Amino acid sequence: MAVVLVDAGGTNIGSVRYALQRLGVDAELTADAEAIRAADKVILPGVGAAGPGMARLRELGLVDVVRGLAQPVLGVCLGMQLLCAHSEEGDTACLGLIDAPVRRFQESATLRVPQMGWNRLAQARPHPLLSGLGEDDWAYFVHSYAVPVGPWTLATADYGGPFSAVAAQGNFHGMQFHPERSAAVGAKLLGNFLRL
């Protein structure tokens, strides 16, 4: 099975590659359009801001490449947000593959932004990506922006209200948390993606 990581400049690429290696998959890091199109599975990692993330995909000529993929695609953290329609972060038009907005958390006296740390996942609807997810499974998040709950939502977490922790539309999937930093739960969900 050929798995590629899109080299879009995310700082979590090394840790995602290592997490995949622990699952027996040596994923190629590439910005080559043909390698991405030919892969069995494509992962779009990302850490940072939506505007620079989209600018990097445009510079590499990969916007239409990613939009045209028919195999399973997984966006991780910022990668999930880039799969969505629009981000409030920098008023950024994103890839539009998951028909969802990305909104900033509302800071308050009791809610610090960004959310940094562990949060419980709650399954919203059954999906093979969530196979084996338990009612007390937790994942590790670092983010200031989130996707609201909608028809795209597979699993939620709560931070001042529910948001989409896992989303999907067609062959495009997203995990807002860092599966590579989420211990056994993250490994389980990455393994589920590899089996899609």
Q: What is the pLDDT of residue 147?
A: 98
Residue 88 among the catalytic residues: no
Q: What is the pLDDT of residue 47?
A: 78
Amino acid 97 reads L
Catalytic choice (28, 34, 77, 88):
77
Considering the entire predicted model, what is its pTM? 0.96
When mean pLDDT is compared across 1-10, 76-85, 106-115, 127-136, the lowest value belongs to 1-10
The DSSP bridge partners found for residue 140 are 118
| Cα–Cα distance, 178 to 189 (Å, whole number) | 11
CATH architecture of structural domain 3-195: 3-Layer(aba) Sandwich (3.40)
> 20-32 pLDDT, tens per residue?
999 999 999 999 9
Residue 107 among the catalytic residues: no
Contact criterion met (CB below 8 Å) for 94 and 81: yes
Contact criterion met (CB below 8 Å) for 6 and 66: yes
Residue 180 among the catalytic residues: yes
| Cα–Cα distance, 174 to 42 (Å, whole number) | 12
Catalytic choice (84, 94, 143, 178):
178
> 93-144 pLDDT, tens per residue?
999 999 999 999 999 999 999 999 999 999 999 999 999 999 999 999 999 9
Q: What is the pLDDT of residue 11?
A: 64
| pLDDT band, residue 13 (cuts 50/70/90) | confident
Amino acid 4 reads V
Distances (CA, A) of 166 to 7, 98, 157, 170: 22, 11, 9, 13
